[in-house]
Structure 1
Amino acid sequence: MILSDKTIIRMLEEKTLLIEPVEKAQIQPASVDIRLGNTFSVVEDSPSGIITMQNAIRYKTIQAEKYLLLPGQFVLATTQEYFVMPDNLTAFVEGRSSLGRMGLFIQNAGWVDPGFEGEITLELFNANRCAIELQSGRRVGQLVFAQLDEKALNPYKGKYQGQTGATGSRVFMDKETR
């Protein structure tokens, strides 16, 4: 079941769902707008020109109020908001249609697990032929919340728990593929 604005407001008031900072205007009929933070990370060039899943990837991270995303460029960014999800709630990250129509693709694997806590790292890609100026504080997407039928047996406690800033891939920490 997708949560309505009434339920989201009630959960925020009861502090069963935490979003900091959040303004009333961000709460939409069935979602909460997310805003772009001021941290951006780009993959540093590797000497071999190859990124592997077995080794840590090096990133250059900057803090800025504006970031110029060049055509065909990929950058990690973060939300301005910090989330604490209860064990019986999940969320889908959706980009804004108006930004998609500019050629800005926004993703984060699209999913926020029950029990997750932290800022959400966004993967941004400029599919346009022109540069796109990104500005901290601008609405870039929305979270759509869905209620689980019961609390998760194993809520999220993974390698991105508590993340802040544009957090790079930690795929090299996966145990199942080593």
Structure 2
Amino acid sequence: MLISSDLLMELIQKREIEINPFDPDFQIKGNSVDIRSSDRYFSYPEYLEPEITMLDPKNPYLNLLERDYISAEGIVLEPNRFLIIESLEYIKTPENISIFLESKLRISQLGIGVVNTGWIDGGFEGNIILVLKNFNNIPVRIYPEMFIAHIFFSSIK
């Protein structure tokens, strides 16, 4: 069952759910919480891109993702490319509360999809990893602290 905004605020005040940074007036929309992009993203090293002709789960290149930072001017996400980015918000839930992640409509209207939407297990703790893909045929700029997704909380019975 989805948790209402009133119950969500009660659980946050009791510190049973933690969201940091968090501004309820700014981030609660109905029964969801808007989350933003941080300035941290992950990519394959540029020097390896010409060598990577196929991604294979048994290939050690998959362990070579490097963290980089997005400047205030943003980062351009080219058509048909993807970006692995962390949420700005650090989130912690108890074992009996799971999270459902969904793209914001505004991001979808730009042609950007959050491809790893869905359920996050109860007891989650950390920054949510967001995998963004540009389905548009033109580049789209992504900025730090840009609203990317919203999350819903659900009790596990």
Report the TM-score when normalising by structure 1: 0.79
1:141 Cα deviation after fit:
0.8
1:135 aligns with 2:143: yes
Q: Is the 8 A contact 2:102 2:117 kept in 1?
A: no
Q: Deviations over 1:82-120 (max 9, x none)?
A: 111111000110001121121000132522111111100
| Cross-structure match for 1:105 | 113
Counterpart mapping for 1:104-123 below 5 A: 104-123=112-131
Hey, what's the Cα distance between the residues in 2 that align with 1:98 and 1:76?
19
Query: Where has structure 1 moved over 4 Å in runs of 4 or more?
Result: none
| Cross-structure match for 1:52 | 56
Q: Is the 8 A contact 1:72 1:128 kept in 2?
A: yes
Report the TM-score when normalising by structure 2: 0.88
| Cross-structure match for 2:30 | 29
| Cross-structure match for 1:39 | 40
Consecutive unaligned residues of structure 1, counting only runs of 5 or more, are 150-178
| Cross-structure match for 1:71 | 79
| Cross-structure match for 1:61 | 67
Q: Deviations over 1:119-171 (max 9, x none)?
A: 0000000011111110111111100111111xxxxxxxxxxxxxxxxxxxxxx
| Cross-structure match for 1:81 | 89
Identity of aligned residues (%): 24
Counterpart mapping for 1:3-14 below 5 A: 3-14=3-14
Hey, what's the Cα distance between the residues in 1 that align with 2:44 and 2:80?
14
| Cross-structure match for 2:156 | 148
RMSD: 1.5
Count residues in correspondence.
149
1:93 aligns with 2:97: no
**Would you tell me which structure has more helix in proportion to its own residues?**
2
